[in-house]
Chains A and B, each alone.
Chain A
């Protein structure tokens, strides 16, 4: 705290998580592209025997991108942003350094075992919570370490007031902790019966209850992994990169509480017309609509931050990535509530429109924001300018094309499928057999997979750009205040 000339922010843990984000991004998205092509060309299912079928790979794709790519991205930005907005360096506390490193390595061990497990088909089948109990315990340990890191850093901070991004990081920590614990309540069978596989467990909840808990988790995992921490990122990185203070700090505070209050009620929209009580379904539907308000509160705040500065979109691809991300946030937070309306849901549920919706959120909002954040961090962490602006520009357009192909094909596929399922002939009999509704979609599946492939290519360009920035780019003398320096 004394010799401030010597004191600098310590990014060693942030760097580790950056590498992890890139690694898991490649793995998760590659598997995603493979399974997307499998739907159009089923022969691709047999590339790796038992371990290469769509059904084995699908949990790997979801877990890989959510808990591999995105969570690493969240941790990387936390270990970067946290220090800066609290104005305290991790180098000041050896304890927090150890916690940070331990956090990273345990996380890597966990992810490695998880990947192997999912390939082998070991899991509980609950979406986004497939891991069996021994790994669940490890998840809790990793999470608690992150908690130590957050609250430890908060404890030694210099800045008295917590910046809005901090609020969102804290909410992410608490939200995921609560959801994960309750959804993964299970009884290890070996300890009761004394036989069978030692890692096998059975859910504490049955049937409709299990479904309610699962979608309370599933929906809010989306909230607290895809939304809340990404808002934390954009509230820091967009103002910092553009040099513009947040348009209305008050609005950001208000949207925060709005989001916290409303989001958790909306999980019921995954279970509309199922066997959970009617009022749960209706409430899920209503709260999903109300959710537009706080979501758009944040998104509009971001767009207005750029007021009078739209020229930056032309000059700075990072600003372009982030503004595009918040636009996509607005799109998917409008689309989601529309799908939650009961009559729309009757058509859309179980169809490809749902993965379409998920992906315009994840590819457009989550992916773009995370990559922009890592781009922004790179010159500051490695003291070199970004390697290529041109590459970044082409990455932006290739990925944008990919996203548009993805969601437009899935919208058409989903609605076609939904309409065909319910279509009847003049006598009131079903007009199509199920397989008719599958074969008709194959062109759209091919289109979707190609969209995904474009996004993956963009991600490889990102990786290359980051790699060159780390190793071969021109060194910079002092840390840039706002716009990240980049070579043409």
Chain B
């Protein structure tokens, strides 16, 4: 039997495939239902926050910042309550990261404010002396992509039954309705910001990447 396998490349390949696939089937599949259940109080992201999440991904913030607080005292003291599986139920993709060159951001919304983020993105050393993080000035120039964010929200609502448009949950509605909600949420953030560039652009109806990103970071609690 063994020798036969060695001489029949096709069945050999099938054998290898079964051996390597088995682990995945056992470890991954059975937990899908259970770990997908959200913790009470966890809400899907609003469209503006999603747009900010896209900025976070576009600039690979997750290359240096984790979003996963491990259950140790040293971590809960530093970052707050340790992470629960259900808190990530609406994270597509997950953004746990694999390296903490900078601090964890899982609950950054609890202890940083809009203007802190604004200074920090313009010039990290101005708020954190010694920081090695680069400045992200281009976020003050580029516009956030609200349409794609809305498209994503609508997609997860339709395909994965993410509870948008339900009681106590973010409302999506049509694109125009959603755009209005986005402008409202953005207005509050822009009001807290100093940058005249961002403020003037907002008057023209443009939402800069930085606004969306701050909305996202503030939502991390």
A interface residues with partner B (beta carbon < 8 Å): 38-40, 42, 45-46, 49-50, 53-56, 58-59, 121-127, 151, 154, 160-162, 167, 170-171, 174-175, 178, 182, 187, 189-190, 192-197, 200, 202-214, 216, 220, 257, 260-261, 263-265, 267-268, 270, 273-277, 280, 283, 346, 349-352, 354-355, 421-422, 424, 429-430, 434-435, 438-439, 442
What is the CB-to-nearest-CB distance from A46 to chain B, in angstroms, rounded to a whole number?
Answer: 7
Interface size on B, residues (CB 8 A): 82
Which one of B62, B84, B97, B159 contacts A187 once the chains associate, using CB atoms below 8 Å? B159
Contact assessment for B19 and A125 in the assembled complex, using a CB-CB cutoff below 8 Å: no
**Known interface pairs A123-B57, A273-B70; A170-B9 also in contact (CB < 8 Å):** yes
Complex partner residue of A59 from B23, B60, B152, B155, CB under 8 angstroms: B60
The CA-CA distance from A167 to B9 in the complex, in Å, is 9
- Residues in A with CB closer than 8 Å to B191 are none
CB B210 to nearest CB in A, in angstroms, measures 13
CB of B93 within 8 A of CB of A210, answer yes
Q: Are A58 and B63 in contact (CB under 8 A)?
A: yes
Cβ-defined partner of B60 (8 Å) among A55, A160, A277: A55
12 additional contacts (CB under 8 A) given A187-B155, A430-B74: A42-B134, A55-B59, A55-B61, A123-B60, A193-B158, A200-B151, A267-B27, A346-B72, A421-B78, A422-B72, A429-B77, A435-B128
Q: Please give me the 9 A-B residue pairs with the lowest Cβ-Cβ distance, nearest first.
A: A207-B88, A196-B151, A196-B148, A264-B23, A45-B134, A193-B151, A121-B58, A275-B85, A422-B74
Listed residue (A49, A260, A268) with the most chain B CB atoms within 10 angstroms of its CB:
A260
Which of B99-107, B180-188, B199-207 binds A?
B99-107
Cα–Cα distance between A167 and B20 once the two chains are bound (Å):
14
Q: Are B19 and A257 in contact (CB under 8 A)?
A: yes
**Residues of chain A lying within 8 A (CB to CB) of residue B62:** 125
Collect the chain A residues with CB atoms within 8 Å of residue B24's CB: 178, 182, 216, 264
| B72/A125 in contact, CB under 8 A | no
Q: Which residues of B pack against A, CB within 8 Å?
A: 6-7, 9, 12-13, 16-17, 19-24, 27-28, 31-32, 35-36, 57-64, 66, 68, 70-72, 74-75, 77-78, 83-103, 128-136, 138, 142, 145, 147-152, 154-156, 158-160, 175
User: Which B residues touch A38, using CB under 8 A?
Assistant: 132, 134
Is the beta-carbon distance between B152 and A210 smaller than 8 angstroms? no
Known: A53-B134, A189-B152. A154 touches B9 (CB 8 A): yes
For residue B129, which residues in chain A have a CB less than 8 angstroms away from its CB? Answer: 435
B63 touches A54 (CB 8 A): yes
With both beta carbons as reference points, the residue of chain A lying nearest to B21 in the complex is identified as A178
Contacts of A178 in B (CB 8 A): 17, 20-21, 24
Complex CA gap A197/B31 in Å reads 32
Q: Assuming A192-B154, A192-B158, A195-B147, is B71 touching A273 (CB within 8 A)?
A: yes
Residues of B within 8 A of A193 (CB): 150-152, 154-155, 158
Q: Is the CB of A277 within 8 A of B9?
A: no
Q: Chain B's nearest CB lies how many Å from the CB of A88? A: 13
Question: Using Cβ atoms and an 8 Å threshold, which residues of chain A touch B31?
Answer: 208-209, 212, 276-277, 280
For this complex, 24 residue pairs linking A to B, each with C-beta atoms less than 8 Å apart, are A42-B131, A45-B134, A53-B136, A54-B64, A55-B63, A55-B64, A126-B93, A151-B9, A151-B13, A160-B7, A171-B16, A189-B148, A192-B154, A197-B145, A205-B92, A207-B86, A208-B94, A264-B20, A274-B70, A280-B27, A280-B31, A351-B99, A351-B100, A422-B72
Assembly CA distance A194 to B83 (angstroms): 35
Is there contact, CB below 8 Å, between B133 and A350? Answer: no
User: How far is the CB of A20 from the nearest CB of chain B, in Å?
Assistant: 25
Question: Which residue of the partner chain A has the closest CB to B42?
Answer: A207
User: Which of A174, A194, A424 is the most central at the interface, judged by chain B CB atoms within 10 Å of its CB?
Assistant: A174
CB distance from A118 to the nearest CB of B (A): 9
On chain A, the residues within 8 Å of B9 by CB distance are 151, 154, 162, 170
User: How long is the Cα–Cα vector from A182 to B156 in the complex, in angstroms?
Assistant: 19
Interface contact B36-A275, CB-CB below 8 Å: no
The residues of B that contact A126 with a CB separation of less than 8 Å are: 93
Q: Which residues of B contact A194 (CB under 8 A)?
A: 151
Bound complex: CA A194 to CA B30 (Å):
33
Q: How far is the CA of A121 from the CA of B139 in the complex (A)?
A: 13
- A54-B63, A151-B9, A196-B149 known; A125-B93 Cβ under 8 A: yes
Give the distance to chain B from A28, nearest Cβ to Cβ, in Å. 16
Q: Which residue of B lies closest to A45 (CB)?
A: B134
How long is the Cα–Cα vector from A35 to B28 in the complex, in angstroms?
34
Given contacts A207-B35, A207-B90, A209-B35, contact A50 B155 (CB under 8 A): no
Q: Are B27 and A283 in contact (CB under 8 A)?
A: yes
Q: Cβ of B152 and Cβ of A196 under 8 Å apart?
A: yes
Partner of A439, one of B16, B74, B130: B130
Q: Name the distance in Å between A173's Cβ and chain B's nearest Cβ.
A: 8
A273–B89 Cα distance when bound, in Å, is: 18
In-complex Cβ contact of B88 among A55, A175, A275 (8 A): A275
CB distance from B213 to the nearest CB of A (A): 13
A214 touches B93 (CB 8 A): yes
Select from chain A the residue with minimum beta-carbon distance to B68. A274
Q: Could you tell me the distance between the alpha carbons of A126 and B134 in the complex, rounded to whole angstroms?
A: 22
Residues of B within 8 A of A189 (CB): 148, 151-152, 154-155
Instruction: Tell whether, in the assembled complex, residue B159 and residue A276 are in contact, meaning their CB atoms are under 8 Å apart.
Output: no
Q: Is the CB of A203 within 8 A of B72?
A: no
Most A CB within 10 A of own CB, among B20, B58, B99, B142? B20
Residues of the A chain whose Cβ atoms lie less than 8 Å from the Cβ of B158: 192-193
Which of B75, B88, B94, B156: most chain A Cβ within 10 A? B94
Question: Contacts A200-B148, A203-B93 known; A209 to B6 CB distance under 8 Å?
Answer: no
A257→B6 CA distance, assembly (Å): 12
Q: Is the CB of B6 within 8 A of A56?
A: no
Chain A residues positioned under 8 Å from B78 (CB to CB): 421, 430, 434
* B149 engages A209 (CB within 8 Å): no
* B12 close to A170 (CB less than 8 A): yes
